[in-house]
Amino acid sequence: MKKGRFRYLKIFGGILFILLTVLIINHCTKETTAPMDKASLIPLPAKIAPSKGAFRLKRGTVIFVSNNSDEAFRVGDYLSDFLHTATGYQLPVKATNKTKGKKDIFLFLSKNQEELGKEGYVLRVTPEMISITAYQPAGLFYGTQTLRQLLPYEIEKKSVQRVSWLVPAGTITDKPEYAYRGAMLDVARHFFPPEDVKAYIDMLAFFKINMLHLHLSDDQGWRIEIKSWPKLTEIGGSTEVGSGKGGFYTREEYKDLVNYAADRFITIIPEIDMPGHTNAALASYGVLNCDNKPRKLYTGTDVGFSTLCTSKDTVYSFIDDVMRELAAMTPGSWIHIGGDEAHATPMKEYIPFIERTQEMVWAHKKYVIGWDEIANATIDKSTVIQFWDNNKNTLKGVRQGAKVIMSPASRTYLDMQYDSTCNLGLHWSGYVEVDKAYDWDPATLVPGVEKENILGIESPLWTETITNMKDLEYMAFPRLAGHAEIGWTPASERKWDNYKIRLGNFASRFNAMGINFYHSPLIQWNDE
Ligand code: TNX
C-alpha cells in the first residue's frame, strides 16, 4: 500500500517535471526582441516604421539575389561570409528572377527606385522574410550594414555564438544626407601596414563611410612606391616620427587596398602633400631642392619648414611622374594635393605652384582636392576645398564655385585630445569630447558656406602621437561614429540626447568587434 502511493507520487512528479521543462524551454526560445525603432542604430536611418514580430535567421536560411547584377551577388556573398563567423551557418547565395513569394533574405536591385539614389535602400523585415531593395549596389550594401546592427551584438564576435538570431520586424527607408562621408588616415607620420588599413576600412564600412583619404607623404615619410623615382620610398620611406623603421606600400599592396576598399563601397583618395610637408621627398632627391642638396631625414613633429623648389622644371617633371603613376593606381575621381601650411613657400610662389599642379592633375584625368589654403590660388569649380581651420580661405574657394569638404579641426580632428587627461593626441584646436564632435551642423558652421556648397564631411586622424591600432581606435571611437551620423542623417533628425543613448548601447557591439574605444564619462555605457 505504502509502495503504491509512492509510485503515484513518482509518476506525478515526473509529469510535473516534464511540464515545467517544456514551459521553461518555451519561455526561453520565445521569439521576441525589442521593436525595430528601439534598436540602437548608428547612423540613424531617415525613416523607421516598426511592425509586429521578428525574423529568425536559421541554419537553412537562403540569401536570394535578383539575378540582374554581379555586384548585387557580391553583396550577397559578403553578407553570407559576414554572417558565417558568429552564427556558424553557411547561408547559400542563390540567383532568382522572381520578385514575389517567400525568399528568406532577398537582395533586389530595382530600376524603378531611382528616388533611393546611389546609396539609399529599403529594408523590410517580416517574420517570414527580409528584403533589401536598392537602386544601386551601394544601397544594397548599406542595407546589409543596417541589418547587421539590427541583429544581436554577438553577431560581431569572431567565434560561433549560441544566440537566437532575431531581427525585429518593420521597414527602414534610408538614404544619406551627404554624398561624401570620409575618414583620413595619416600613414606618413607613423606608417600603418596594409592589414591595419584594411581593419580600419572594415570599421568605416560598418558606419556607412564611403571615402578613405590616405595622407601618403609628409616631412617624416613617403609611403607609396613610385617606380620612376624609386628613392622616394627607399630613402623617404625608411623612417617615421620617433625614428622607427617606417615603411611604404608597394604598387601591388596599394592596388590591393584600393580593391579591398571598393568591395566595401569605399573610394581611396591618395594625398601627396605639396609644396610644404615634403621633407621626405627633399631628403630622397637633392634635385628637388633649390640648392640641389638632399635634406636630412626628419623624425620630429614640427610643421611648415619644408618646400619643393617651385621655380625648377625638374620639380614639375617630378610632380607629373608622381601624378601619372598615382592616377594609374586610382580608380576614384580625385587626387589630393595637400597645399597646407606651406610656410616656407612665399605666397607669390605658392599661388602659381598650386595652379600649375592643378592642371597637372587634370592632365591625368583626375579632379583636385586640397586643404583650404589652396583657395588663395585661382581654382576651378571642380576643385574641392577641404576646410580644416580657416574660414576666409574656405570662403575664397566657395566664391570660386568650389565645393567644400568639412573637416573643422575643433570638431572632426580625431587626433585632438578628448580632455586634459588624455595621454594621446594634441590640443592645438582645443579638446574634443564626444558631444563636441557630434553636436554641430556642417551647413551652419561657417557663415557663407551653405549646404549646397558642401560635398560632405571627413574626419582626419593625424598620427604624430599614434603608433598602433589600439591607440588609433581609441582616438577614432566613438567620435567617428558621430561624424558618420552627421554625414548620413539629416540635421533635423539628429539630437545629442537621443544619440548618446544609442551610443551607450553600442558598447557591447564595440566590444564584440574588438574595438578599443574611449569610455567618455558623458555616456552611460551598456557594456556586456
Ligand atoms: C595640422 S590639418 C596639419 C597636420 C598636422 C595636424 C595635427 C593640416 C592640413 N595640417 O600637418 O598633422 O595639424 O593636428
Q: What is the pLDDT of residue 22?
A: 54
104 lines ligand 1 (CB under 6 A): no
Q: Look at strands 130-134 and 121-125 and give their pairing.
A: antiparallel
Tell me which residue of 65, 100, 101 sits closest to 80, measured CA to CA.
65
Q: What is the pLDDT of residue 27?
A: 47
How much is the average pLDDT of 97-116?
90
Q: Which of 214, 301, 303 to mutate to test the pocket of ligand 1 (most atoms within 8 A of CB)?
A: 303
Whether residue 349 is found in the same domain as residue 483: yes
Tell me which residue of 276, 260, 279, 280 sits closest to 268, measured CA to CA.
260
Whether residue 165 is found in the same domain as residue 307: no
373 lines ligand 1 (CB under 6 A): no
Among candidate residues 140, 174, 208, the one where a domain is terminated: 174
> Cα of 470 to ligand 1 centre, how many Å?
21
Q: Confidence class of residue 491 from pLDDT cuts 50, 70 and 90? A: very high
415 lines ligand 1 (CB under 6 A): yes
303 lines ligand 1 (CB under 6 A): yes
Q: How far is it, in rounded angstroms, from Cα 191 to Cα 426? A: 18
Whether residue 424 is found in the same domain as residue 311: yes
413 lines ligand 1 (CB under 6 A): yes
Average pLDDT, the chain: 95
Dihedral Cα 19, 20, 21, 25, nearest 10 deg: 110
Is it the case that residue 401 has pLDDT exceeding 80?
A: yes
Q: What is the pLDDT of residue 24?
A: 57
Tell me which residue of 432, 430, 425 sits closest to 465, measured CA to CA.
425
Q: What is the pLDDT of residue 341?
A: 98
Q: What is the pLDDT of residue 1?
A: 46
Domain encompassing residue 346: 180-494+509-513
Whether residue 213 is found in the same domain as residue 84: no
Question: For residue range 54-65, what is the model confidence (pLDDT) as tens digits?
Answer: 999 999 999 999
Whether residue 190 is found in the same domain as residue 135: no
Question: For residue range 259-284, what is the model confidence (pLDDT) as tens digits?
Answer: 999 999 999 999 999 999 999 999 99
Question: For residue range 19-54, what is the model confidence (pLDDT) as tens digits?
Answer: 666 555 544 445 689 999 999 999 999 999 999 999
Question: For residue range 319-372, what is the model confidence (pLDDT) as tens digits?
Answer: 999 999 999 999 999 999 999 999 999 999 999 999 999 999 999 999 999 999
Residue 1, in any domain of the structure: no
Is 119 annotated as catalytic? no
> Cα of 461 to ligand 1 centre, how many Å?
9
Is it the case that residue 155 has pLDDT exceeding 50?
A: yes
Q: How far is CA 16 from the centre of its chain?
A: 56
Tell me which residue of 369, 361, 399 sits closest to 385, measured CA to CA.
369
Whether residue 345 is found in the same domain as residue 466: yes
Whether residue 151 is found in the same domain as residue 218: no
Whether residue 243 is found in the same domain as residue 166: no
Residue 499, in any domain of the structure: no
Whether residue 229 is found in the same domain as residue 139: no
Tell me which residue of 489, 503, 480 sits closest to 182, measured CA to CA.
480
Q: Look at strands 217-218 and 166-174 and give their pairing.
A: unpaired
Q: Nearest C-alpha to atom 7 of ligand 1 is from which residue?
A: 462
Q: Taking the CB of residue 358, how many other CB atoms lie within 10 A of it? A: 21
Whether residue 53 is found in the same domain as residue 160: yes
**The domain spanning residue 123 has which CATH number?**
3.30.379.10
Q: How far is it, in rounded angstroms, from Cα 443 to Cα 434? A: 20
Whether residue 247 is found in the same domain as residue 345: yes
Which of 23-37, 155-169, 203-217, 376-390 is predicted least confidently? Answer: 23-37
Q: Are 303 and 219 in contact, with CB atoms under 8 Å apart?
A: yes
Residue 392, in any domain of the structure: yes
Tell me which residue of 523, 405, 425 sits closest to 471, measured CA to CA.
425
Sheet holding 63-66, edge to edge: 47-56, 166-174, 121-125, 130-134, 105-109, 63-66, 93-96
How much is the average pLDDT of 429-435?
98
pTM of this prediction?
Answer: 0.94
**Neighbouring residues of 19: CB distance < 8 A, sequence distance ≥ 6:** none
Atom number in ligand 1 closest to CA 371: 9
Tell me which residue of 258, 217, 195, 205 sits closest to 468, measured CA to CA.
195
Residue 59, in any domain of the structure: yes
Name the percent of the chain lying above pLDDT 90.
91
Residue 16, in any domain of the structure: no
Q: How far is it, in rounded angstroms, from Cα 369 to Cα 323? A: 13
Whether residue 195 is found in the same domain as residue 299: yes
Tell me which residue of 172, 189, 288 sits closest to 246, measured CA to CA.
189
Q: How far is it, in rounded angstroms, from Cα 475 to Cα 517? A: 7
Q: How far is it, in rounded angstroms, from Cα 393 to Cα 482? A: 26
207 lines ligand 1 (CB under 6 A): no
Q: Given the residues 154, 177, 325, 341, select the one marked as catalytic.
A: 341
Q: How far is CA 497 from CA 95, 435, 438, 469, 493, in A?
A: 43, 10, 11, 30, 12
Among candidate residues 129, 150, 174, the one where a domain is terminated: 174
How much is the average pLDDT of 198-222?
98
**Neighbouring residues of 470: CB distance < 8 A, sequence distance ≥ 6:** 516
Q: Which of 305, 340, 369, 371 to mutate to test the pocket of ligand 1 (most atoms within 8 A of CB)?
A: 340
Q: How far is it, in rounded angstroms, from Cα 183 to Cα 413? A: 10
Among candidate residues 174, 198, 231, the one where a domain is terminated: 174
Residue 501, in any domain of the structure: no
**The domain spanning residue 263 has which CATH number?**
3.20.20.80
388 lines ligand 1 (CB under 6 A): yes
How much is the average pLDDT of 177-201?
98
Residue 17, in any domain of the structure: no
Is it the case that residue 16 has pLDDT exceeding 90?
A: no
Q: How many domains does the chain have?
A: 2
Residue 257, in any domain of the structure: yes
Backbone torsions φ then ψ of 519, nearest 5 degrees: -85, 80
Question: For residue range 500-526, what is the model confidence (pLDDT) as tens digits?
Answer: 999 999 999 999 999 999 999 999 999
How much is the average pLDDT of 83-87?
98
